[in-house]
Amino acid sequence: MHQNPINGVPFTEWIVPAGNDNIRPQNYMSPKYITIHETDNTSVGAGARNHAQYLYNQAVGNTDRAASWHFTVDDKEIYQHLPLNENEWHAGDGDGPGNRESIAIEIAVNSDGNYSKAVDNAKKLVAYLMKETGVPLNNIVKHQKWSGKTCPANMINNGQWDAFVNGVGEYYNNLYQPKDDITGGWYEPAIR
């Protein structure tokens, strides 16, 4: 496992092993979208680490459930499960662009976690992924786009989707966009 923070959020790369095509199909992908989900698992302790363990167990086990995603984020940390250049099964659109051209992020909604902090950590992760992959802000989408499912449910039901995307844009601009630097005293207006 590889560990480094992403924009101040502890990050663990725990890539699931190949072998179960329902979890890690190993199809090449060039990401064009980032799709946001919520885990819909409010159980105590159902944070990023436990979802990483669940996906790992599915990968090494014998499941016919085709469901996987790239990242899980909670109020404390981020886990990566699949390489960014491989697709996963998360969108519900078969071989469509949701599954074949989109990075999938699950935000934990465990009852013992801080959902607002998990959402903020997800914003930081998405801003980082935009920088790394070139996916533009207008291609940050809800799971709902691909399948019609009400997901990410809390954001949709509480009218918070636009605030999420705007927050991603703010992190991206503050962290990764060059700033005008007019310093040193040499600049003065030409007309007075």
CATH number at residue 8: 3.40.80.10
Q: What is the pLDDT of residue 184?
A: 52
Is the residue at 25 inside a domain? yes
Q: Alpha-carbon distance 22 to 63, whole Å? A: 7
Write a three-state SS string for the chain: CEECCECCECEEECCCCCCCCCCCCCCECCCCEEEEEECCCCCCCCCHHHHHHHHHHHHHCCCCCCCCCCEEECCCCEEECCCCCECCCCCCCCCCHHHHCEEEEEECCCCCCCHHHHHHHHHHHHHHHHHHHCCCHHHEEECHHHHCCCCCHHHHHCCCHHHHHHHHHHHHHHHHCCCCCCCCCCCCCCCC
- The proportion of the chain whose per-residue pLDDT surpasses 90, expressed as a percent, equals 71
Is the residue at 187 inside a domain? no
The confidence band for 93, taking pLDDT boundaries of 50, 70 and 90, is: confident
Tally of structural domains, the chain: 1
Is the residue at 189 inside a domain? no
Question: Is the per-residue pLDDT at 188 higher than 50?
Answer: no
Is the residue at 143 inside a domain? yes
Note the pTM of the prediction, 2 decimals.
Answer: 0.90
Is the residue at 139 inside a domain? yes
Query: pLDDT tens, 107-142?
Result: 999 999 999 999 999 999 999 999 999 999 999 999
The CA-atom distances, in angstroms, between 127 and each of 20, 27, 37, 120, 165 are 30, 25, 16, 11, 10
- The neighbour count for residue 7, using CB atoms within 10 Å, is 18
- The proportion of the chain whose per-residue pLDDT surpasses 70, expressed as a percent, equals 90
Q: Which of 9-13, 25-29, 179-183 has the highest mean pLDDT?
A: 9-13
Q: What is the pLDDT of residue 20?
A: 86
Q: Which domain holds residue 121?
A: 2-173
